[in-house]
Structure 1
């Protein structure tokens, strides 16, 4: 009998993939701009903790949410962050709210209007969990393509007890990353910056651990996440490997 074909290695990132540093592009600029906004908002939150009477209403609201998340533990902490942010924000597209295709908004700015789109939900959950004590290195803002509805989409992935759970603005419940069947992940973002997902099979990108992986974007410099609906979004972007077709 012929030897069984070995299974491909499984990565430790969400969806069982690997990641590598994305080239400088528009996402890096957006992320660095957001990091600057987050640093300013962190100062506001610190001032609110010292002087609750002088705290702006949006910051006070977000602090109450953080404290509710902090009061929980384990999966309940993730569940509280997901449900609370989903209930606090009403979905409005960036074009409708800001007149542009894709704007990333820090949580206090989002809570000031009570409106946002998918990445604003994910960013608010990311910061709420970090402020509540969840390990930053166990969180990923994941940008990808929802093939079922022909639209780019953003979620938050959180690592708990060795499993990645997805916090989604469209779902009140947490789901395992393996259950997001129509979602093609493109980019993962956290304190390391912008990372491209890579499939753990075939050719030919050596990674730090010695394994080979196929990059999710064969021409990474052209990889682009618009955050907006596209007529051909049901198909992978040019240069993207359909990881879950």
Structure 2
């Protein structure tokens, strides 16, 4: 969809997603940026993750390291938020007070309304800004308070929503960050995802309304992050009969599908 098709109030957020220019293909072959090395992939499983596709856990690599590094920064920020929540009058961080106000408003709602409150509030609170403009780099993952202070692109919106949803009472097992590739325009994008009544809703900085994963078209999910790990979406294993033992199925092509991850020394896709 052309930018002009979006409501004017959302155009800035649509333009603000420079995600993963250098770390993810948030991914596939385009020119510009650099992509994270995936690391070792194991534990293929048919899962109830967003989009319902099999995933492989990444145990190492730069993407895994980047997520772990951000988790440590989030731990530090949680301490700051806890201190401000306990003494709001003495809190010296406007961003912390703003973030807590967003969480407070969401806690007053239930179910889908709670998710929608955070989606809209973060979309409106964050100024869409590219990593290159802010940091002089193509891909920086920021913590929520840094994003509220300085602005951010799509992965920064997703991270802020991921944290806000957790503080608002959504169970960790029902929260994800999903990275997907636009198969029409070729761009890469990240969203927060929350599971409600067994269905995954996408909280996207490009739109105020939430959309179920089953209703999203023209995208290919590539990575999924939860509070503990990074997963890579992979084609489902194909079972064939062994020539020596027709009774025993053999798994083929489980990780043989072309990977969306390019070697670390190659130019990688830039998110929109």
Structure 1 length-normalised TM: 0.80
- 1:220–1:176: structure 2 CA closer, same or farther, 3 Å change rule? closer
Partners of 2:250 and 2:141 in 1: how far apart? 34
Q: 2:131 aligns with which of 80, 86, 94?
A: 94
CA offset at residue 32 of structure 1?
1.2
Structure with larger RCO (C-alpha < 8 A, sep 6+): 2
Q: Secondary structure at the match of 1:87?
A: helix
The answer on 1:106 being equivalent to 2:148 is no
Question: Which residue does 1:137 correspond to in 2?
Answer: 173
Contact in 1 for aligned 2:202/2:212 (Cα 8 Å): yes
- 1:218–1:147: structure 2 CA closer, same or farther, 3 Å change rule? closer
- 1:158–1:112: structure 2 CA closer, same or farther, 3 Å change rule? same
Matches within 5 A, 1:3-18: 11-18=47-54
Q: Secondary structure at the match of 2:157?
A: helix
Q: Secondary structure at the match of 1:45?
A: helix
Contact in 2 for aligned 1:196/1:217 (Cα 8 Å): no
Q: Which moved more, 1:212-221 or 1:189-198?
A: 212-221
Matches within 5 A, 1:143-182: 143-182=179-218
Q: Secondary structure at the match of 1:192?
A: coil
- 1:211–1:103: structure 2 CA closer, same or farther, 3 Å change rule? farther
CA RMSD between the two structures: 2.7
Contact in 2 for aligned 1:186/1:216 (Cα 8 Å): no
Gaps in structure 1 of 5+ consecutive residues: 1-8, 205-209, 231-245
The answer on 1:199 being equivalent to 2:235 is yes
Contact in 2 for aligned 1:143/1:187 (Cα 8 Å): yes
Q: How many pairs were matched up?
A: 216
Structure 2 length-normalised TM: 0.72
Gaps in structure 2 of 5+ consecutive residues: 1-44, 241-248
